[in-house]
Structure 1
Amino acid sequence: MEKIKLGGSDLDVSKVCLGTMTFGEQNSEAEAHSQLDYAQERGINFIDTAEMYPVMPRAETQGRTESYIGTWLKKSGKRSEVILATKAAGPSRGISWIRNGGSDFDAANLKLAVDRSLQRLQTDYIDLYQLHWPSRNAPIFGSISFDPEKERPHVAIEDTLAALGDLVKSGKIRQIGVSNETPWGVSEFIKQSEQRGLPRIASIQNAYNLVNRSFETGLDEVCYRENIGLLAYSPLAFGQLTAKYLDDPKAQGRLTKFPPNWSPRYLRPSVFEASRQYAELARTHGMTPATLALAWCYSRWLVASTIVGATTLAQLQENIDALSVRLPDEIISAINAIHARITNPAQ
């Protein structure tokens, strides 16, 4: 398993990262531990989680994912072999139970969030601490344009960076990153860190897959020139790019298990049609739709590490095996042709 430096940081991370949002909802603690064991056996040293997980977010299960990882770290004794990433939830009316409704990025809230994550993870430091989504109004989670009418009070980026700087100095976190960010947001984080001598972001965790290549419309250049590593999440578009929902509309997965308003962007008719065309392309060339989608994502120059999640070991094996698949120019051209016809339907 190839490892790379994450952005401008000192973190050596595997090209495949194990996503864990199913732990505690779709996966039991024993299943979670089996996935962690298998991932490490395959050379994955990078684990991503969040204080909000598992999904779908509920007060009854919040923090369970980190707790399952914590019990595995304690049992395995492998903490020093793992690059551990977690995320602090941003403001949202839908998750009022997190930090007693204080999910934002001021100093008091971030300290509380870090301390609670450390307790659940049973460790005394976090390698990569990420802001799950912006404090400010920004076009994310399927919004395709900025809406000034949605402006709201928010924590200034420089204040958030100062709070994170204190946590770095305390030794509780090593590096910082953002998630679900925009070109303006990334540029502002960099500007404030340089002007004020505050920690610099090493990574950005955004959606990137065959039905959402919006990262290529500005963020790709910003991150290339500023040495910010992309952690690509949802490379299978909540399972749509496996074609399982095309083959069986009642197939088990997030899109059938959870309410439609949890992930409406992946339920658009244009997403189904694009997924159908990508699946047909994959099968014509003797591979599974999931392998095509992941091999494409793994091959992209702008991706530092791809976050894969699974509910079974068989799925996880297929996801990791796709790393060795090299797509010929013929298939890449066909992928780009589909993208030109149906551009970013899940943006």
Structure 2
Amino acid sequence: MKKILLGNSQLSVSTICLGTMTFGEQNTEAEAHDQLDYALERGINFIDTAEMYPVMPRAATQGKTEQYIGSWIKKSGKRSEIVLATKVAGPSRGMGWIRDGENDLNEKNIRAAIETSLQRLQTDYIDLYQLHWPSRNAPIFGQKQFDPALERPCTDIAETVAVLNALVEEGKIRAFGVSNETSWGVSEFIKQAELQGAARIASIQNAYSLVNRSFEQGLDETCFRENVGLLAYSPLAFGQLTAKYTDDAKAHGRLTIFPPTWSPRYMRASVFEASKAYAVLAREHGLTPAQLALAWCYSRSFVASTIIGATNLVQLKENIDALDVQLSDEVIQGVNGIHEKLNNPGQ
């Protein structure tokens, strides 16, 4: 499997990243270890997690994902073979169990968060430390437009950059990145790094899929010119792009076992409509819907690594194998035709 340097960092990461947010909720510790073993066997060296995981978030399970990865690191002895990424939670009124609901991206919270993550992961450094979402008001998680009426107090990006740079100098992290960010946010992080003579962000982890190509509306240019690598998450749109929900509305998966309020952007009628259209296109060309969706992400020049998740090894194998799928010009034209009619319904 191909490996690349992530952004301006020295992190050599595989073009597929193993997402782990099912570990501790939909997957047992043994199943998590099996997935980690299989991923490494297939050439994946990049593992992504977060202090918030697993999903959906609950006080009773928070931190289990990192714990399962930590127990695997201890058992396998393969810490040096992986690039380990985790995230610190930004402000949230709905997760009072994380630092008593006062979580933010200031020095106090970031330092508290990384210490607990290091303990759970049973390691003394994080390769890529990411800000799970902004401290400030920003259009994320299905909010399509910026709304000034939602402005709130927030931590200055300058303070966040300063503490992350200090953690790099202390050896607790090797590089850092943002997630669920905007073009303005990326530019401001870079500006503050330059003003402080600090390390720059190496990556941005944003949603990108056939039903959400909003990254192509300016962020692609910003990240290209500033050498910030995209880590594409939800390439299957919470399973919608596998067509399992369009084939069977009651299919077992994240959209049926969790409340609809957890992922409303993927429950829109327009997302179901687009998923059906992409499924038809895929099957007309001898592909599974999942192969089409993943091959699309794998083939985009601006995607540094695509984050895939699975609840069993059969799914994981199919997702990795899609890396070998070559999309014809006819298929690409078909994708763009659907996109023109149903523009970013999962944004």
For 2:95, the aligned partner's letter is I
**CA distances 1:51-100 after superposition (whole Å, capped 9, x unpaired):** 00000000000000000000000000000000000000000000111122
> What is the CA distance between 1:180 and its match in structure 2?
0.1
Question: Which residues in structure 2 correspond to 1:74-113 (within 5 Å)?
Answer: 74-113=74-113
For 2:196, the aligned partner's letter is R
**CA distances 1:237-272 after superposition (whole Å, capped 9, x unpaired):** 000000000111111111001000000000000000
For 1:49, the aligned partner's letter is T
CA distance in 2, matches of 1:160, 1:16: 28
Question: Which residues in structure 2 correspond to 1:127-146 (within 5 Å)?
Answer: 127-146=127-146
Provide the residue aligned with 2:308 in structure 1. Answer: 308
> What is the CA distance between 1:222 and its match in structure 2?
0.1
For 2:121, the aligned partner's letter is L
CA distance in 2, matches of 1:169, 1:343: 43
For 1:254, the aligned partner's letter is R
Question: Which residues in structure 2 correspond to 1:276-315 (within 5 Å)?
Answer: 276-315=276-315
Provide the residue aligned with 2:72 in structure 1. Answer: 72
Task: Give the TM-score, by structure 2 length.
Answer: 1.00
> What is the CA distance between 1:181 and its match in structure 2?
0.1
> What is the CA distance between 1:102 and its match in structure 2?
2.5
Provide the residue aligned with 1:180 in structure 2. Answer: 180
> What is the CA distance between 1:7 and its match in structure 2?
0.5
Provide the residue aligned with 1:252 in structure 2. Answer: 252
Structure 1 vs Structure 2 CA RMSD: 0.5
Partner of 1:232: helix, strand, or coil? strand
Partner of 1:138: helix, strand, or coil? coil
**CA distances 1:158-190 after superposition (whole Å, capped 9, x unpaired):** 000111111111111110000000000000000
Gaps of 5+ in 2: none
For 2:75, the aligned partner's letter is K
> What is the CA distance between 1:191 and its match in structure 2?
0.5
> Relative to structure 2, which stretch is displaced further, 158-167 or 128-137?
158-167
CA distance in 2, matches of 1:252, 1:178: 32
CA distance in 2, matches of 1:104, 1:292: 38
For 1:69, the aligned partner's letter is I
For 2:195, the aligned partner's letter is Q
Of all paired residues, the percent bearing the same amino acid is 73
Question: Which residues in structure 2 correspond to 1:188-227 (within 5 Å)?
Answer: 188-227=188-227
Partner of 2:110: helix, strand, or coil? helix
Moved over 3 A (4+): none
CA distance in 2, matches of 1:199, 1:155: 19
Partner of 1:135: helix, strand, or coil? coil
CA distance in 1, matches of 2:134, 2:311: 28
Partner of 1:130: helix, strand, or coil? strand
Provide the residue aligned with 1:343 in structure 2. Answer: 343
Gaps of 5+ in 1: none
For 1:74, the aligned partner's letter is K
Number of residue pairs matched by the alignment: 347
For 2:104, the aligned partner's letter is D
CA distance in 2, matches of 1:297, 1:164: 29
CA distance in 2, matches of 1:157, 1:303: 25
Instruction: Say yes or no: does 1:270 pair with 2:270.
Output: yes
CA distance in 1, matches of 2:128, 2:36: 18
Partner of 2:238: helix, strand, or coil? helix
Provide the residue aligned with 1:114 in structure 2. Answer: 114
For 2:296, the aligned partner's letter is W
Provide the residue aligned with 1:166 in structure 2. Answer: 166
Partner of 1:237: helix, strand, or coil? coil
CA distance in 1, matches of 2:103, 2:303: 29
CA distance in 2, matches of 1:58, 1:170: 32
**CA distances 1:164-223 after superposition (whole Å, capped 9, x unpaired):** 111111111110000000000000000000111122000000000000000000100000
> What is the CA distance between 1:108 and its match in structure 2?
1.0
CA distance in 2, matches of 1:165, 1:191: 14
CA distance in 1, matches of 2:271, 2:38: 32
